[in-house]
């Protein structure tokens, strides 16, 4: 397994149910500069669909899914605007 991407902001949303991980992302992504990376670690399965959908609706870039150190899914987003 590859090493997780280094993100400028890591959002620990383990245990949160939908739509809380996306609310967290929506509230905090602007803390990184344009071009920066935000990682959402979420155990709720809906995040797998909703993080890319959020990127599409909000005009941000979905980088991809990887695994956090504990095996939780980690969704990486690049702020482009």
- DSSP string across 30-66: GGSPTT-EEEEEE-STTHHHHHHHHHHHHT-EEEEEE
53 binds other proteins (CB under 8 A): yes
Q: Which residue from 81, 64, 75 is spatially nearest to 24, judged by alpha carbons?
A: 75
75 binds other proteins (CB under 8 A): no
Candidate ranges 1-9, 53-61, 63-71, 72-80; the one touching other proteins (CB under 8 A)? 53-61
> Which residues share a beta bridge with 9?
38
19/36 with CB nearer other proteins: 19
- Shortest Cβ 58–other proteins spacing (Å): 8
67 binds other proteins (CB under 8 A): no
């Amino acid at each position: 397994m590859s090493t997780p991407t280094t993100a400028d902001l890591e959002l620990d949303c383990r245990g949160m149910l939908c739509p809380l991980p996306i609310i967290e992302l929506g509230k905090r992504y602007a803390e990184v500069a344009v071009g920066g990376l935000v990682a959402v670690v979420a155990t709720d399965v809906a995040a797998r669909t909703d993080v890319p959908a959020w990127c599409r609706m909000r005009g941000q870039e979905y980088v991809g899914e990887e695994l956090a150190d504990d095996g939780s899914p980690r969704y990486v987003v690049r702020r482009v605007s």
